Structure 1
Amino acid sequence: MSSTADLTSADLNEIRQSALGAADPLGVAADLADAARAGRLADPQDAGLALTLAAEIAESRSKLDAALRYVDGALEAFGERDDSAAASARALRARVLYRTGRGDEASAEVEPLRPLLTRYTDAAAYVTAALVVGGRAVEAEKWLTEAVQEVLAERGATEPADADDAGVLFFLLQQRHRLRHALGRQHDTHDNLAERLETRLAGAGSAATTVDLVFLAGPEFDRLVKQTEAYGATWDDHRAGLERELVRLAGTGRADLVLFPGTADGFTGDPASAEDRAAYARKLSTGSARLPWPPERNGACWCGSGLKYKKCCLPRSRG
């Protein structure tokens, strides 16, 4: 990252997508913080965003003191702003505090954000992640349930007709659905609605996250690519797409990310069909087979290539 050129909002978005694949992510975080503090941002209003990103990078490398320092700087930069970015930063601060064992402070930070779940989807993701990290997953489920019920009440309980109409409701339903699966809950009416919308929106080109996180090992990919290139034109494309999606999700505050290993024989239906791919992803997500992400930089890559992560898929997020 340049030490002299002003960083634009587009630059920050690009860094968010690629930072975890950088050779020195902590150096990237330090550069972002320096750019914010030295006024090297094209838009001074981006200072809070740059420092929040620096905090996320530091947290991902378990540098919690640095993460807290950066996120405190972000909140100072945001000042009195009451928007999604500021709310996300406050939730991120709570998450870092939970990880440092300062649970009371973390809870005091996250509790006021509860009403914002129905306003800002990004903030909702950060709030949920903070509660889960703090051992409050059951409360997170309750918060999401009440948020879903509030949005449904405002809609008159009508189901979205398309992707544009789905908005915050679909996001909240999916957040809740994933959390309930992790808690081992039985499906309820909201879970059923989440799956109906997922199938409907997948057919409209808005496949759910689980579709994007189906991983096919080399031989399995080679068998399915003969029928469709929906999972990538090549195995390298397939792995790069997964790595970029995981980095993107991590940047929204998602924790405990996993991939779902798939097989050609296990796929029933037409792999070229978005609806069938969504159904297959749902099936995989209910099973026990999953690959945690990210591995350690010097650990074995998640794709099974036998190479170290830093020499295999980690750099693919920059492609």
Structure 2
Amino acid sequence: MPTKADLSSADLDEIRQSALGAADPLGVAAELAGAVDAGRLADPGDAGHALTLAAEIAESRSKLDAALRYADRAIDAYGTRDDSQVAAVHALRARILFRAGRGDDAMAELEPLRPLLTRYSDAAAYVSAALVVGGRTRVAEEWLTEAVKVALDERGGSAEPASADDAGLLFFLLQQRHRTRHALGLPHDQHDNLADRLETKLANTTARAATASAEDLVFWPQAEFDRLLAEQPKLSEAYGETWDEHRAHLERELVRLAGAGRTGLALLPGSVTGLIRYAGSDGDPSDPQTRSGYAKQLAAAPGHISWPPERNGSCWCGSGNKYKKCCLPRSRG
């Protein structure tokens, strides 16, 4: 890993992709820890991320003592934070403990994470993977079953979800449980059947996603959005009543398209001046055909915003915040 004055979030994501193929991956892990110690992170809040990465590298080389030290330091660095990244490093620590033959300690690490299964979709994967490494696949199935029941209860006994999007976190829990039960050779039950139905519905959206219009991905930066609704209030029906609603719609649409197999996704930044110019002096900017034509014009022009950004990278919306703290959570709303 090249020595840099400061390591950015983007640098850490690049290291994650390349470290295991480096000539000296353990040296990379040590340098990550050294960067934390020396204050060489562009964002000090990335210390937990850097140390978790160091722990993963050390674990991959079976340096379990070092991996455990890095994981402990990552947990300390995260402090009182309570999110999916913290759940991930605790699950990683449990995995390391399992591999070190400390099964009881590993289970003690995982037990507090059980409530997080119904809060973060990533947690189901982290925790169940750790349990499988420790030979506790049956426990993973039991925990996931309990989480599915809680998620169903939280829906208030409503009708079956109409789609994977409608199911939300429940869908991810059903998928993870379904895979775990398959690994155990267990017969299908009602929850497995629901997982199958939702996966079929998700697969059936592929054709619709493939033909999605460019209009669905037109993005109005905040200043443009405010001007748009001030001059064309009718367009709130198409683009949202608030900028938060507009961004949430776009993020959910992009997640849906990605889940349906679309690649090379990008947002198409619009401008009020451009829309009015496209409509012409006699045109109506709020007319659906005008909006569709303008979107196609944007799609054929340069200046697209690639999606998704890295979790720790700047958000696509231009807010200046990290993607993971800005628009990424909007897809779950």
Q: TM-score range by the shorter chain?
A: 0.5 to 0.7
Alignment RMSD (CA, Å): 2.5
The equivalent of 2:176 in structure 1 is 175
How many Å apart are 1:68 and its aligned residue?
Answer: 0.5
Residue identity opposite 1:20 in structure 2: L
| Larger deviation, residues 171-180 vs 152-161 | 152-161
2:124 is equivalent to residue 124 of structure 1: yes
The equivalent of 1:59 in structure 2 is 59
Q: Closer, same or farther in 2 for the Cα pair 1:23/1:174, shift >3 Å?
A: farther
How many Å apart are 1:60 and its aligned residue?
Answer: 1.7
Q: Closer, same or farther in 2 for the Cα pair 1:4/1:202, shift >3 Å?
A: same
* Highest RCO, 1 vs 2 (Cα 8 Å, sep ≥ 6): 1
Q: Is the 8 A contact 1:198 1:208 kept in 2?
A: no
Q: Is the 8 A contact 1:29 1:55 kept in 2?
A: yes
How many Å apart are 1:148 and its aligned residue?
Answer: 0.7
Q: Closer, same or farther in 2 for the Cα pair 1:208/1:144, shift >3 Å?
A: farther
How many Å apart are 1:100 and its aligned residue?
Answer: 0.4
Residue identity opposite 2:194 in structure 1: L
The equivalent of 1:141 in structure 2 is 141
How many Å apart are 1:163 and its aligned residue?
Answer: 4.5
2:197 is equivalent to residue 196 of structure 1: yes
Residue identity opposite 1:38 in structure 2: A
Q: Closer, same or farther in 2 for the Cα pair 1:102/1:4, shift >3 Å?
A: same
Residue identity opposite 2:79 in structure 1: G
The equivalent of 1:186 in structure 2 is 187
Q: Closer, same or farther in 2 for the Cα pair 1:207/1:63, shift >3 Å?
A: farther
How many Å apart are 1:70 and its aligned residue?
Answer: 0.7
How many Å apart are 1:111 and its aligned residue?
Answer: 0.8
How many Å apart are 1:204 and its aligned residue?
Answer: 2.8
Rounded to whole Å, the distance in 1 between the matches of 2:60 and 2:171 is 27
Q: Closer, same or farther in 2 for the Cα pair 1:91/1:35, shift >3 Å?
A: same
Residue identity opposite 1:96 in structure 2: I
Structure 1 unaligned regions, length at least 5: 212-319
Rounded to whole Å, the distance in 1 between the matches of 2:88 and 2:170 is 18
The equivalent of 1:86 in structure 2 is 86
Q: Closer, same or farther in 2 for the Cα pair 1:189/1:58, shift >3 Å?
A: same
Q: Is the 8 A contact 1:201 1:207 kept in 2?
A: no
The equivalent of 1:161 in structure 2 is 162
Q: Is the 8 A contact 1:202 1:208 kept in 2?
A: no
- 1:103-125: CA deviation from partner (whole Å, max 9, x where unpaired): 22111111111111111122222
Rounded to whole Å, the distance in 1 between the matches of 2:150 and 2:159 is 12
Q: Closer, same or farther in 2 for the Cα pair 1:137/1:22, shift >3 Å?
A: same
Rounded to whole Å, the distance in 2 between the matches of 1:13 and 1:157 is 40
| Larger deviation, residues 135-144 vs 7-16 | 7-16
Rounded to whole Å, the distance in 2 between the matches of 1:2 and 1:188 is 52
Using the aligned pairs only, state the percent identity.
Answer: 74
- 1:112-160: CA deviation from partner (whole Å, max 9, x where unpaired): 1111111112222221112112221111101001101111111134333
Q: Closer, same or farther in 2 for the Cα pair 1:32/1:148, shift >3 Å?
A: same
Rounded to whole Å, the distance in 2 between the matches of 1:188 and 1:62 is 38
- 1:244-272: CA deviation from partner (whole Å, max 9, x where unpaired): xxxxxxxxxxxxxxxxxxxxxxxxxxxxx
Q: Give the alignment's TM-score, normalised by structure 1.
A: 0.61
Q: Aligned residue pairs: how many?
A: 212
Residue identity opposite 2:171 in structure 1: F
Residue identity opposite 2:177 in structure 1: R
Residue identity opposite 1:151 in structure 2: A
- 1:22-56: CA deviation from partner (whole Å, max 9, x where unpaired): 34332322222222222111111110011111111
How many Å apart are 1:189 and its aligned residue?
Answer: 1.2
| Larger deviation, residues 38-47 vs 17-26 | 17-26
Rounded to whole Å, the distance in 1 between the matches of 2:23 and 2:257 is 32
Q: Is the 8 A contact 2:164 2:199 kept in 1?
A: no
Q: Closer, same or farther in 2 for the Cα pair 1:3/1:144, shift >3 Å?
A: same
Q: Is the 8 A contact 2:84 2:120 kept in 1?
A: yes
Q: Closer, same or farther in 2 for the Cα pair 1:142/1:207, shift >3 Å?
A: farther
Q: Give the alignment's TM-score, normalised by structure 2.
A: 0.59
2:17 is equivalent to residue 17 of structure 1: yes
How many Å apart are 1:90 and its aligned residue?
Answer: 1.1
Rounded to whole Å, the distance in 2 between the matches of 1:59 and 1:71 is 10
Within-5 A mapping of 1:141-290: 141-155=141-155, 156-205=157-206
Residue identity opposite 1:52 in structure 2: T
How many Å apart are 1:4 and its aligned residue?
Answer: 2.2
Rounded to whole Å, the distance in 2 between the matches of 1:157 and 1:14 is 43
Rounded to whole Å, the distance in 1 between the matches of 2:198 and 2:29 is 38
